[in-house]
Amino acid sequence: MIQRNEVVLSVLGNLQEATETSGLAAMTRAAQEVDKLLAPFQLPKTLCHDFPEWTGIDRMAHGLYPPDAPHDLIPLSCTGEGNMLFDAVSMLLVGNTDLSLELQVRTVVEMVLWKRYYLSGMIDSKMMLQAVRFGLCAEESEDMLNLPVAVLEAIFDADVKASCFPGSYANMWHVYALSSVLQLNIYSIYPMFNHKIRPYFNRIIRPRTWPKDSEPLTLHIMWSGELQSESAFRPNHFVALVQTSDWTFGSPDSDQRVSPIKSEELLNDDSQLSYPSLKDKYNITKRTFYRWKRQTQEHCKKSAARYEAKYFLQSCYTEGKLIPLHQFKQFFPEISRSSYYNWKHELLKTGGNFSASSSTGEISPGESTEQEAWSSPDAKEDEPDQHDSVASMFGLSLGKLDLERAQNVAHMQEAKRCLQNCIAMNASLPFRLFKRFFPGISRSTYYNWRREAMLFIRGYKTSVGSSEDSSDADKSESPKSLSPVPLNRSNTAQSRMRVCRQNHRRFRLAYMSKKQLRDAAKLHIKRSKWSLTKFKLKFPSMSPCFYWLWRSSQNCKKKKKKVVFQSAGISAPQSLDNLATETRNMEKKESQTGHPFVESTKYLKSPAVPSFNPPHSKDATQSKMPVDEQVFAVDVVALANFKAKAKLFLQQRFEEKSFPTFKEFRSYFPFTPRSTYYMWKRALHHGVSLVHG
């Protein structure tokens, strides 16, 4: 052990000398050397379960412990310099801080040698950079979001160098690198403050690599610091969190020490708890009890209100009328002016379409991660269990999809698809017309999509047909998969419950009015055989998807239908004609590549496409089928097929260990949104197969 310490100290000296030359070149050389020298020393593979008696509980961290974190952990007090990331982790591994310096050295080496990975190659790079941005600034400030990557890189270099000295301050990138050094997951827990930035810090960090035979263990650390006021928290240092069972209650007053956090948890779990029932269990005063209770409730209310206001603003924006401040204030008097302007600014910058616009690929990382911020769960305390490991790992926000958003997303998707179809058929759809069909969508978004679709037409390369993954629906964070309508509906059911529960009355009203509109439209379509054009004229705000769905479901009722793809020359409204043309194009393309279209459709048994019956055989009588149903089916099939191809492509490339960047991926599959790409990438990285069978 002595020898090991000496080696660590000497290599640290080398690294320190290397910091004296400018640039990272000398550091890289030194790091390579250090990497070799430290290779013979093994790091602990398991966590320490035996802590010295004098180790105390960090009371401040105790008081800050968030209710959504695992319940059986307690923060250990620890000493050291800087913000003590390495000390805390050393505590967890060996029960003292003997390993701190070595962990620090190894983290520096990891950061230097894998700089590119952390800054851009990693699945979580953007999340990490955003966390670093926030970690660097004293307050939550909008300026920080625009901090260019070049500046961040310069800061990264400086940070790495500074980390060669004791007492340095670790940022989020150190946590990521340390996780890789240990080949362990690090669950970084962040107190229930600063809700806008919290999701970036409160998450499970996965190592770069880990032994393939087992899932990595998870160690828990927490950001702690003094509360500056009732609601202002500035993280200051890290503390180690250990299982309650590993902690031997050494001192007589330990029971009392554990009490604050326990009782707070109970408050969250069950608001029925009364003071008398708690008093006996935990030694707290009546005043303390009611203070905690009040704080907890106030906090819940506040963040629920913010959440509601934010999404209200967003849905207003998507509908094309961003309400002015005074009107907003009428609805939400408790929301501050600055919040309104912050949100407005974000909406304007991202075009209001948080999910779909990310596929354009022209936005800076700052902006795109901002969208992630929007989709991040804001009012987590409503569902303490929601933040389980899987959800946070995938950065999903399933629980928080409210239906306005779901509908908006579906609407966006629909609009985009329509545009893509038109362009694929060489038919122009000018903005003026497009605007009439899809009033909520901005001009810039239109042009982004248009450019993207044009690119696709030029650069499209077919790959082999593949299967369709039916489990996808549960994985996607918003209804982005092939058929927005059915998915949207399932979300509707889900979120309706949620809406009721959370008493989001305004959303409910908005939902009700939309539903009425939809019901009316449905009735019209079922009764009279409207053309799509007429439908569009009567219900401009509704997605044509509904039209196809209702039409086809009506047809399905009559008798079992089969789809035929050689349909042409049937008179129909203009848009139908166009779609029919596309059918032919599609078919041509497919037969050219030797994969008949029909063949690939047989995989389409996904429950996400309820109104579609896969073809069993070709039958001459089928040509009598109403054209609109065929067209709808073809439309769905075509998209499903693209998606399946995209998945197979990714899976193959993943297996070949040459995973494409989003840029490359986009050149093959421009229809697939960026977020979907990242969702699949995440899934692959976490060992989930995209293609079954």
Partner 1 sequence: MVNIIDHLIQVFLLRFLCLQMASATATYGQKESSDQNFDYMFKILIIGNSSVGKTSFLFRYADDSFTPAFVSTVGIDFKVKTIYRNDKRIKLQIWDTAGQERYRTITTAYYRGAMGFILMYDITNEESFNAVQDWSTQIKTYSWDNAQVLLVGNKCDMEDERVVSGERGRQLSEHLGFEFFEASAKDNINVKQTFERLVDIICEKMSESLDAGDPAVTGAKQGPQLTEQPAPPHQDCAC
Q: Is the dihedral of CA 395, 398, 400, 405 positive or negative?
A: positive
What is the 3-state secondary structure of 18-60? HCCCCCCHHHHHHHHHHHHHHCCCCCCCCCCCCCCCCCCECHH
When asked if residue 54 is in the footprint of partner 1 (CB under 8 A), the reply is yes
**Cα 606 from chain centre:** 24
Q: Is 7 in the site for partner 1 (CB under 8 A)?
A: no
**How far is the CA of 198 from the CAs of 236, 317, 548, 607, in angstroms?**
15, 25, 42, 36
**Smallest distance from the beta carbon of 137 to partner 1, in angstroms?**
4
Nearer Cβ to partner 1, position 12 or 424? 12
* Half-sphere CA count of 239, side-chain side, radius 13 A: 28
User: Does residue 165 belong to the site contacting partner 1 (CB under 8 A)?
Assistant: yes
139: how many CB neighbours lie within 10 A of its CB? Answer: 10
407 contacts partner 1 (rule: CB under 8 A): no
Nearest approach, Cβ of 226 to partner 1 (angstroms)?
4
Give the CA radius of gyration of the chain: 28
Q: How far is the first Cα of the chain from the last one, in angstroms, to the nearest whole number? A: 52
Tell me which residues in 248-277 interact with partner 1 (CB under 8 A).
251
Task: Copy the structure tokens of residue 254.
Answer: 């330990």
Question: How many secondary structure helices (H) and strands (E) does the chain include?
Answer: 31, 5
- Tell me: does residue 56 bind partner 1 (CB under 8 A): yes
For residue 111, the minimal CB distance to partner 1 (Å) is 16
Q: Does 225 bind partner 1 (CB under 8 A)?
A: yes
Residue 355: name the closest of 125, 685, 678 by CA.
678
Residues in 104-123 that interact with partner 1 by CB under 8 A: none
C-alpha dihedral (16, 18, 23, 27), degrees to nearest 10: -90
Nearer to partner 1, 364 or 471 (CB): 364
Q: Smallest distance from the beta carbon of 347 to partner 1, in angstroms?
A: 22
Span interacting with partner 1, options 143-151, 387-395, 410-418, 452-460, rule CB under 8 A: 143-151
> Which position among 141, 364, 389, 661 is part of the footprint of partner 1 (CB under 8 A)?
141
Encode 205-230 in three state secondary structure.
Answer: ECCCCCCCCCCCCEEEEEEECCECCC
Q: Which is nearer to partner 1, 52 or 459 (CB)?
A: 52
Please name the amino acid found at residue 599.
Answer: E
Q: Is 282 in the site for partner 1 (CB under 8 A)?
A: no
Strand order in the sheet with 203-205: 73-76, 237-243, 218-224, 185-189, 203-205
Nearer to partner 1, 170 or 309 (CB): 170
Is 68:387 a contact under the CB 8 Å cutoff?
yes
Locate the DSSP E strands across 108-257: 185-189, 203-205, 218-224, 237-243
Residues 6 or more apart whose Cβ sits within 8 Å of residue 191: 64, 65, 66, 222, 223, 224, 233, 235
Given 77, 288, 296, 470, the residue binding partner 1 (CB under 8 A): 77
Q: Which is nearer to partner 1, 8 or 482 (CB)?
A: 8
From 12-20, 27-35, 185-193, 672-680, span contacting partner 1 (CB under 8 A): 12-20
Tokens of 103: 């962990």
Residue 185 dihedral angles phi and psi, to the nearest 5°:
-70, 145
Among 82-90, 103-111, 545-553, 571-579, which window interacts with partner 1 (CB under 8 A)? 82-90
DSSP E strands, 83-233: 185-189, 203-205, 218-224
| Closer residue to partner 1, CB minimum distance, 258 or 570 | 258
Q: Determine which residue in the list 43, 113, 136, 427 makes contact with partner 1, applying CB under 8 A.
A: 136
Q: What angle separates helix 2-18 from helix 25-38, to the nearest 10 degrees?
A: 170
Question: CA-CA distance, 318 to 329, in Å (whole number)?
Answer: 19
- 166 touches partner 1 by CB under 8 A: yes
Q: Which is nearer to partner 1, 167 or 459 (CB)?
A: 167
Cβ closest to partner 1, residue 209 vs residue 338: 338
Question: Quick one: 97 or 360, whose CB is closer to partner 1?
Answer: 97
**CB of 79 vs partner 1, minimal distance in Å:** 4
| 236 near partner 1 (CB under 8 A) | yes
**Closer residue to partner 1 in complex, CB, 167/324:** 167
Does the footprint of partner 1 cover residue 17 (CB under 8 A)? Answer: yes
Binding mask 85-104 for partner 1 (x = CB under 8 A): ------------x-------
Minimum CB separation of residue 293 from partner 1 in Å reads 22
Give the residue from 133, 136, 132, 128 showing the smallest Cα distance to 145: 133
157 binds partner 1 (CB under 8 A): yes
Contact indicator for 552, 632 with CB cutoff of 8 Å: yes
Nearer to partner 1, 104 or 397 (CB): 104
Q: Smallest distance, Å, CB 203 to partner 1?
A: 21
Least Cβ distance, residue 306 to partner 1 (angstroms): 23
345 near partner 1, rule: CB under 8 A: no
Query: Of 167 and 596, which has the nearer Cβ to partner 1?
Result: 167
Q: Which stretch binds partner 1 (CB under 8 A): 147-155, 210-218, 390-398, 664-672?
A: 147-155
Residue 373 interacting with partner 1 (CB under 8 A):
no
Q: Which residues contact partner 1 (rule: CB under 8 A)?
A: 9, 12-13, 16-17, 19-20, 22, 54, 56, 58-61, 77-84, 97, 135-139, 141, 143-144, 147, 150-152, 154-155, 157-158, 161-162, 165-169, 224-226, 236-237, 239, 251
